């Protein structure tokens, strides 16, 4: 007798210290048809080249607070004085439809999702931490990016050192090398997650 499997979507959560390569990896993954990319909300101003609705939903603090009060966020966090949040309903719809979702969030947000009170969300989660090779390489990448002052870079490095201690909280960890190598490692993770017996349902 022929058997076919179906499954719900997987919630791929990617976190990393600022400058570790997370955005570069997620931008590359967004060019594929493997995921729906979850566009986060933020109160920080757009960086050069960022597009509202594609990179982030850029909100005022009042708009963010209104959505927070309405319970629209799966998770939210204050990072370096700016608010970030992930909209809940689009993610749940895609997961129930069997569509994989990719979220680029910080360690606070990932921890919130791990402890989310909906078991469906927790079971869908596959979280990945991107580690820089070391703090000096991270300093080099942040300096090359050119979006922060030297003082801001020092603040980010202090935060990064603290975040790097959290890698064991994640199911998977990738030490960032080249974008090609990082992508291949992530694709290996995708393949493993999609064939986990616990995710499969006989049609």
Counting Cα atoms < 13 Å in the Cβ hemisphere of 62 gives: 0
Pick the more confident residue, 12 or 203.
Answer: 12
The verdict on residue 18 lying in a domain is yes
Residue 135 in domain: yes
**Has residue 42 been placed in a domain?**
yes
171 assigned to some structural domain? yes
What is the phi-psi region of residue 100: left when phi exceeds 0, alpha when psi lies from -120 to 50, beta otherwise? beta
What is the pLDDT at residue 172?
A: 98
Residues 27-71: tens digit of each pLDDT: 899 888 889 999 999 999 998 899 999 999 999 999 999 999 999
Residue 148 lies in a domain: yes
Q: How many structural domains does the chain have?
A: 1
Q: What is the pTM of this model?
A: 0.86
Give 68-85 pLDDT, tens digit per residue.
999 999 999 998 899 999
Render the chain in DSSP notation, one character per residue.
Answer: ----EEE---EEEEE--TTSSHHHHHHHHHTSSS-EEP--EESSPPPTT--BTTTBEE--HHHHHHHHHTT-EEEEEEETTEEEEEEHHHHHHHHHTT--EEEE--HHHHHHHHT-S-HHHHHHEEEEEEEPS-HHHHHHHHHHHT-S-HHHHHHHHHHHHHHHTTGGGSSEEEE---HHHHHHHHHHHHHHHHT-GGGEEE-
Q: What is the pLDDT of residue 2?
A: 60
CATH of residue 66's domain is 3.40.50.300
Phi first, then psi, for residue 8 (nearest 5°) are: -80, 170
pLDDT at 87: 96
Contact predicate 169/111, CB 8 Å: yes
Q: Would residue 203 count as lying in a domain?
A: no
Task: Let me know if residue 202 belongs to a domain.
Answer: no
pLDDT in tens, 104-161: 998 999 999 999 999 999 999 999 999 988 888 888 888 888 788 889 999 889 988 9
Domain that holds residue 103: 8-197
Asked if residue 2 belongs to a domain, the reply is no
């Amino acid at each position: 007798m022929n058997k076919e499997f179906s499954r719900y979507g997987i919630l791929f959560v990617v976190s990393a210290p600022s400058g570790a390569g997370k955005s570069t990896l997620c931008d590359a993954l967004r060019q594929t048809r493997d995921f729906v990319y979850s566009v986060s909300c933020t109160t920080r101003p757009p960086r050069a080249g960022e597009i509202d609705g594609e990179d982030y939903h850029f909100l005022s603090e009042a708009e963010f607070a209104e959505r927070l009060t309405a319970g629209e966020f799966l998770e939210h966090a204050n990072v370096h004085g700016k608010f970030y949040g992930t909209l809940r309903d689009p993610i749940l719809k895609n997961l129930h439809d069997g569509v994989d979702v990719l979220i680029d969030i910080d360690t606070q947000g990932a921890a919130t999702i791990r402890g989310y009170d909906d078991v469906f969300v927790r079971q869908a989660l596959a979280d990945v931490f991107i580690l820089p090779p070391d703090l000096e390489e991270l300093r080099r990448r942040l300096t090359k990016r050119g979006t922060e002052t030297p003082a801001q870079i020092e603040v980010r490095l202090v935060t990064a050192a603290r975040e790097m201690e959290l890698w064991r909280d994640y199911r998977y960890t990738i030490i960032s090398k080249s974008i090609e190598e990082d992508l291949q490692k992530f694709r290996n993770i995708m393949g493993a997650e999609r064939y986990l017996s616990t995710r499969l349902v006989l049609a």
